[in-house]
A and B are shown apart, each in its own frame.
Chain A
């Protein structure tokens, strides 16, 4: 599950890690705590009640970062602390690896309801 803190630095994930290859995955919705563009990593604050967790994710260059509802493509560096994101991810020996990242709002203003398909 998502409640996990990886305090150690990340290993670099191989560029061949394509998002489409990952089947079993989990997801997290939370606020961006930190964007580490140099190491292509993202930290998301989440949790349950007052039991909070930070999920540190590796973000391979192939991972799609999009907006909702427009689904415009973003760069990792476009994400800012306080952005609310929905991330699908999976476990690798080096840590959690993101498969998809959607920016769905801001903590300050909330999240718009998801548009109907």
Chain B
């Protein structure tokens, strides 16, 4: 056999293997994990699925008793039907000596837990954490799926910042700008892009969502700023050790992004319309990851449909401030996995993608108006495309 024939046979074999790969299902790990990485994914799912009780660390304030209680649909890592309360104080006119946005961290914010343990209920007579009167807005927050978040984490800051145009110097009406955490690092996770890394997003969720302390966040949430009463938290801190927290992080990090559905001809037409009306100016179709110790995350393209930047979405959608984000600024929501979502926008107010588009304002108003002006067939095509993501 000549060397050329050998190369052709090898190429054909590789193509055949690739073609035979079954599509990834929600909840599957990324392709190409090592055996050790796959083992950590499986072990991490165990932590993600763990149901906590007050005796094992739950609460005293909490939104859910397990990661998978909220991130459950259609599988662990997916979305859920819970709605959280986040509250902050935004000063239109900035008083001397304070930031424009107060995340109310000194008053238990910005996440106000919807549930308390029986012990805290007995001690304080409350059923949820009260939002302090200093709050200027209370936001509803739905549960995002976390599929593909490891890839988003691996996108270099430089790529995100390359899309920023805070002063709209290209005069396209789009002026994405970065949010930053309190230590100055670029944010990317959360509806307002406050959180810089996936590990922090996950560790913070144990504390803020389940009342589970970790080595990274070793003290309990306060009750609107007041330390929890003695005797209401029987579990010693940290309630989750570093190994368990790292495994939960590994599970989330290694979850594959949802596989897009097969596109019909109409959806392919919609893909072109998506670009033509300007959706893709913020919902950047593809981001590229940088270096990573995990090969499955290294130098990969991810069809995220986001720029991970803040954009003004207009007053109708506005709610809380967070970090540098004003009440009307939101991070461009990743559209990957949209076909799995039962409702849309940060607070779930839109029941369909069409409704979500129609409620875009601010920087997105022009694209919304162009969508309105489309012939019915092109509008349907655009929606058909979205439903494949």
- Per-residue contact bits, chain A 1-31, to B (CB 8 Å; 1 contact, 0 not): 1011101000000000000000000000111
Which residues of chain B are within 8 angstroms of A34 by Cβ–Cβ distance? 97-98
User: Does B180 count as interface, using CB distance less than 8 angstroms?
Assistant: yes
Contacts A48-B217, A51-B111; A7 near B225 (Cβ below 8 A):
yes
Number of A-B contacts (CB under 8 A): 111
Q: Are A52 and B226 in contact (CB under 8 A)?
A: no
Q: How far is the CA of A73 from the CA of B226 in the complex (A)?
A: 36
| Residues of chain B in range 201-238 having any CB-CB distance to chain A below 8 Å | 201-205, 207-208, 216-219, 221-222, 225-227
Most buried by B among A46, A48, A53: A48
Residue from A30, A47, A109 with most neighbouring chain B CB atoms (10 Å): A47
Is the C-beta of B195 less than 8 angstroms from some C-beta in chain A?
Answer: yes
Closest chain A residue to B197, Cβ basis: A49
Judged by DSSP, the binding face of B is loop
B324 interface residue per 8 A CB criterion:
yes
The reply to whether A108 and B324 contact each other, CB–CB distance below 8 Å, is yes
Chain B min CB distance to A56 (Å): 8
Considering only CB atoms, which chain A residue lies closest to B196 in the complex? A49
A106 contacts which chain B residues (CB < 8 A)?
184
For A32-52 the 0/1 string (1 means CB < 8 A from B) is 011100000001111111111
Interface residue tally on B, bucketed by range:
35 or more
For the complex, give the distance between the alpha carbons of A102 and B86 in Å: 31
Alpha-carbon separation in the docked complex, A108 to B207 (Å): 27
A30 to chain B, nearest CB (A): 4
Least CB distance from B272 to A in Å reads 37
Q: A111 touches which one: B98, B184, B200, B216 (CB < 8 A)?
A: B184
B184 touches A110 (CB 8 A): yes
CB pair B194–A50 under 8 Å, yes or no, is: yes
Asked if B205 and A50 sit within 8 Å, CB to CB, the answer is: yes
Across the interface, do B219 and A49 meet the contact criterion of CB distance under 8 Å? no
Q: Give the distance to chain B from A108, nearest Cβ to Cβ, in Å.
A: 6
Decide yes or no whether B102 CB sits under 8 A from chain A.
Answer: yes
Closest to A107 in B: B180
Q: Is B316 an interface residue (CB 8 A)?
A: no
* A3 cross-chain contacts in B, Cβ below 8 A: 217-219
CB contacts (< 8 Å) of B203 on chain A: these are 48-49, 51
CB-contact partner of B217 in A47, A81, A82, under 8 A: A47
CB within 8 Å for A82 and B99 given contacts A49-B204, A52-B110: yes
**How far is the CB of A105 from the nearest CB of chain B, in Å?**
5
The chain B residue with its CB closest to the CB of A56 is: B106
Q: Which residues of B contact A4 (CB under 8 A)?
A: 219
User: B184 contacts A49, CB within 8 Å?
Assistant: no
Question: CB of B257 within 8 A of chain A?
Answer: no
Q: Is the CB of A47 within 8 A of B111?
A: no
Bound-complex Cα distance A77 to B207 (A): 34
Q: A29-B183, A35-B97 are in contact. Are A49 and B106 (CB under 8 A)?
A: no
A49 near B180 with CB under 8 A, answer no
Contact of A31 with B99 at beta-carbon distance under 8 Å, contacts A4-B219, A84-B182, A110-B184 already known: yes
User: With an 8 A cutoff between CB atoms, is A54 at the interface?
Assistant: yes
Q: Please give, as numbers and ranges, the residues of chain B lying within 8 Å of A76 by CB-CB distance.
A: none
Q: Is A65 an interface residue (CB 8 A)?
A: no
The answer to whether B109 touches A30, judged by C-beta atoms less than 8 angstroms apart, is: no
Docked Cα-Cα span, A81 to B226, in Å, equals: 23
Q: Which residue of B lies closest to A43 (CB)?
A: B106
> In whole Å, how far is B122's beta carbon from the nearest beta carbon of chain A?
23
Distance between A81 CB and nearest chain B CB, rounded to angstroms: 4
| A48 neighbours in B (Cβ, 8 Å) | 200, 203-204, 207, 216-217
Q: Please pick, from B186, B194, B216, the residue contacting A110 in the complex, using a CB distance under 8 A.
A: B186
Q: List 10 A-B pairs, minimum CB-CB distance, nearest first.
A: A49-B204, A111-B184, A51-B207, A52-B105, A31-B182, A54-B106, A51-B204, A84-B184, A30-B182, A81-B99
5 A-B pairs besides A49-B205, A50-B111, A50-B190 with CB distance below 8 A are: A4-B219, A49-B195, A49-B208, A50-B208, A52-B182
7 contacts between A and B (CB under 8 A): A3-B218, A7-B225, A31-B183, A44-B182, A49-B204, A50-B208, A81-B99
